[in-house]
Chain A
Amino acid sequence: MEEFIRGFVGDVTRVMSALPVQEIARAINVIQAVYERDGRIYIFGNGGSLALATHWVSDFNKTVFSHNLESHTRRFQAIRLPSTEEELSAWANDVGYEMVFAGPLQNYLQETDGVIAISSSGNSQNIVKAVELAKRRNVPVIGLSGFDGGKLNELADVKIVVQTEKGKYEIVEGIHAVILHLITKYFQDYFDHQLARRTAGA
């Protein structure tokens, strides 16, 4: 048992130590820019990746500011797509599963926004369709992918690929969660710092 656990932890550690640090930094810059222009961030993925997206939205819209919620009047506007199960099933049933993200995204997307797409393989048709829509409108796309990055990594402006052998979903998805938490923590510290500066200046 211990051997199995050590083996898994070892795999995770090796992949973690090869993360594209510069791309993660660029993702933070993209999000910073969206905040400055009061835009929205749309995030989506399939299965476990959709759960990651939902978790991140909750952290990003609230936890980032939670130390001083009342002091931060302008907060992030992060939205998971589709935002309701009804939309998901309507697009899938009426139009096709490949439109479950691009369909809702089309309703919302504006020039000031940003997009985070999560796909371990990077090749999910519905993810690729939504990313292509954002690209056509010159909206910046952060791609969180795994394995060899797939099509998502080719298309994304910010290419965060968690490189593993094909099929290592458990490692890719786990590390995606870590990266998303890293981004949340960065902005939490950033807004705490801003508040401290404002208070010191007052």
Chain B
Amino acid sequence: MPKRLAGSYRRAEGPSTAPARFRQGPRTGDRRGAPVDWDKLSLMILVRAPLRISFVGGGTDLPEFYRKHPGRVISVTIDKYVYVLVNPTPLVDKFTIKYQRTEIVDHPKDLEHTRLRAALLDLGMVQSGLEVGSFADLPAKTGLGSSSSFSVALLRGLHAYRGRSLSNRDLAEEASRLEIELVQEPIGKQDQYAAAFGGFNVFQFNAHGPVDVSPVLLDYRKRSALEEHLLLFFTGITRPAASVLTEQRSRVEEHFETYVAMAESVGEFARRVLEGDIRGMAHMLHEGWLRKRSLASSVSSSVLDGLYEAGLSAGAWGGKILGAGGGGCLLLLAPPSAQAAVRRALEGRAAQERLAGFKEIGVRTVQSGTDLVYRDQQPPVY
């Protein structure tokens, strides 16, 4: 948990009141060699966004579906995070972008990182002397929504850097626009909403009008019981999400009734969550997974099927591959008494399949969404 550094900064005074000189990010002085006026700089900002587990309804957040029938998804955020750090570099007249690799460019248009390039250009943040870094508890492409968590964290950070505070809803919409419209990723909106709002939620995606966000108001006893039944394994296979979803999107019409059934099952799943009926949830996860497998050939594979079957044979009640499919994480609900056997069975199977990266991930659910967890000293008139 990040620690607040008490008294180390002045507080922001309201959104979008930053004078024009902050809106473009830092300036290094108009003349070469002019002294840097540090008082005029927005300073370092750190944002944290949670990953999520999506239970049922994934895919009905694709516009090909929800433009014709309300899409619904139920998900919960977990205690694994993506971090984005935004920092001015007044002495380095470049854009320095650090993720799995480092890019140093003169103008954001030269960046290879698609979402960062699009976000900086869209916000008009073309004044050099800016550093953005991203860090994460888990690798990308695990099916836990990390790429959208990154986008939400990035936008919260860039807006804060420019002196703006966004509501969770605006943040989710901006992140969706960035990924779907500007970068043209073939994805839906569920992950952006999950990361921005945080917690256990049902999202309904409507053809017209805003996304409905309904929190599933679960008390700590039921939340703990669910966590005690929940097993999450990284398969060691990273999935080509875009290719799975591109195939899936092109075949929405063909499978329309399956999508309707998936969307309709969300309400029933939410009821079982509220009743603490974990076995019933597992049963619905299993059914949902079978439906999802039928939507695109690349959603599952013999290796994934083998792992899932091994888990069920060892006593798990049900589960699914998280995210778009094709790899990533396997979620299982299993009674505590069977968990040791399930772990052994999966480890055995993973060894047989030579899945070097196979690993269990311990998770807890979390309530908080995408937070600005640290902000260095503010410009005084902000």
Closest to B221 in A: A193
How far apart sit A39 and B2, CA to CA, in the bound complex (Å)?
A: 10
Known contacts A111-B375, A138-B166, A189-B220; is-contact A38 B2 (Cβ 8 Å): yes
Chain B binder among A64-72, A83-91, A102-110:
A102-110
- List residues of B (4-21) whose CB comes within 8 Å of A's CBs: 4, 11-15
Partner pick for A37 among B14, B168, B368, CB 8 A cutoff = B368
Q: Which of B3, B11, B15, B224 has the most CB of A within 10 A?
A: B11
Known contacts A137-B14, A138-B165; is-contact A112 B215 (Cβ 8 Å): no
Across-interface contacts of B15 in A (CB, < 8 A) = 136-138
Closest to A107 in B: B11
Across-interface contacts of B371 in A (CB, < 8 A) = 37, 111-112
Does B57 count as interface, using CB distance less than 8 angstroms? no
Does A25 count as interface, using CB distance less than 8 angstroms? yes
**Are A25 and B11 in touch, CB under 8 angstroms?**
no
**Are B4 and A38 in touch, CB under 8 angstroms?**
yes
**Are A109 and B11 in touch, CB under 8 angstroms?**
yes
Across-interface contacts of B48 in A (CB, < 8 A) = 37
Pull 24 A–B residue pairs with CB atoms less than 8 Å apart, ordered by A: A25-B217, A29-B199, A29-B367, A32-B368, A33-B367, A36-B1, A36-B367, A37-B371, A39-B4, A74-B1, A107-B11, A108-B11, A109-B11, A110-B12, A111-B160, A111-B165, A136-B14, A136-B15, A137-B165, A138-B166, A138-B168, A186-B220, A194-B220, A197-B224
Does A123 count as interface, using CB distance less than 8 angstroms? no
How far apart sit A184 and B346, CA to CA, in the bound complex (Å)?
A: 42
How far apart sit A33 and B219, CA to CA, in the bound complex (Å)?
A: 14
How far apart sit A121 and B3, CA to CA, in the bound complex (Å)?
A: 38
Known: A106-B13, A107-B11, A137-B165. 15 other contacts (CB 8 A): A29-B199, A29-B215, A33-B369, A37-B2, A37-B48, A37-B373, A106-B11, A108-B11, A110-B11, A110-B12, A111-B375, A112-B371, A112-B373, A137-B12, A190-B220
How far apart sit A7 and B23, CA to CA, in the bound complex (Å)?
A: 61
**Smallest Cβ distance from A103 to chain B, in angstroms?**
12
Does B118 count as interface, using CB distance less than 8 angstroms? no
How far apart sit A108 and B217, CA to CA, in the bound complex (Å)?
A: 30
Across-interface contacts of A37 in B (CB, < 8 A) = 1-2, 48, 368, 371, 373
Does B260 count as interface, using CB distance less than 8 angstroms? no
Across-interface contacts of A29 in B (CB, < 8 A) = 199, 215, 217, 367
**Are B372 and A112 in touch, CB under 8 angstroms?**
yes
Does B140 count as interface, using CB distance less than 8 angstroms? no
- B residues apposed to A, CB below 8 Å: 1-4, 11-15, 48, 160, 165-168, 198-199, 215, 217, 219-221, 224, 366-369, 371-373, 375
**Are A36 and B366 in touch, CB under 8 angstroms?**
yes
**Smallest Cβ distance from B368 to chain A, in angstroms?**
4
How far apart sit A136 and B16, CA to CA, in the bound complex (Å)?
A: 10
How far apart sit A186 and B217, CA to CA, in the bound complex (Å)?
A: 13
**Smallest Cβ distance from B160 to chain A, in angstroms?**
8
**Smallest Cβ distance from B337 to chain A, in angstroms?**
14
- A residues apposed to B, CB below 8 Å: 22, 25-26, 29, 32-34, 36-39, 74, 106-112, 133, 136-138, 186, 189-190, 193-194, 197
Across-interface contacts of B3 in A (CB, < 8 A) = 38
Grouping DSSP codes into helix (H, G, I), strand (E, B) and loop, the A interface class, with mixed when no group exceeds half, is helix
Number of A-B residue pairs having CB atoms within 8 Å of each other in the complex: 75
Q: Which of A33, A109, A194 has the most CB of B within 10 A?
A: A33
How far apart sit A39 and B221, CA to CA, in the bound complex (Å)?
A: 24
Across-interface contacts of A112 in B (CB, < 8 A) = 4, 371-373
Closest to A187 in B: B220
**Are A22 and B217 in touch, CB under 8 angstroms?**
yes
Partner pick for A33 among B165, B199, B375, CB 8 A cutoff = B199
Partner pick for A26 among B215, B221, B372, CB 8 A cutoff = B215
Across-interface contacts of B11 in A (CB, < 8 A) = 106-110
**Smallest Cβ distance from B41 to chain A, in angstroms?**
19
**Are B1 and A38 in touch, CB under 8 angstroms?**
yes
**Are A111 and B2 in touch, CB under 8 angstroms?**
no
Closest to A139 in B: B165
**Smallest Cβ distance from A23 to chain B, in angstroms?**
10
**Are A32 and B367 in touch, CB under 8 angstroms?**
yes
Closest to B368 in A: A33
Partner pick for B368 among A36, A106, A197, CB 8 A cutoff = A36
**Are B167 and A138 in touch, CB under 8 angstroms?**
yes
How far apart sit A108 and B7, CA to CA, in the bound complex (Å)?
A: 10
**Smallest Cβ distance from A36 to chain B, in angstroms?**
4
How far apart sit A109 and B378, CA to CA, in the bound complex (Å)?
A: 13
How far apart sit A108 and B2, CA to CA, in the bound complex (Å)?
A: 18
Across-interface contacts of A26 in B (CB, < 8 A) = 215, 217
How far apart sit A137 and B199, CA to CA, in the bound complex (Å)?
A: 21
How far apart sit A73 and B160, CA to CA, in the bound complex (Å)?
A: 31
Across-interface contacts of A138 in B (CB, < 8 A) = 15, 165-168
Q: Closest 7 interchain pairs by CB?
A: A33-B368, A25-B217, A33-B367, A111-B372, A36-B368, A190-B220, A32-B367
Q: Which of A138, A193, A197 has the most CB of B within 10 A?
A: A138
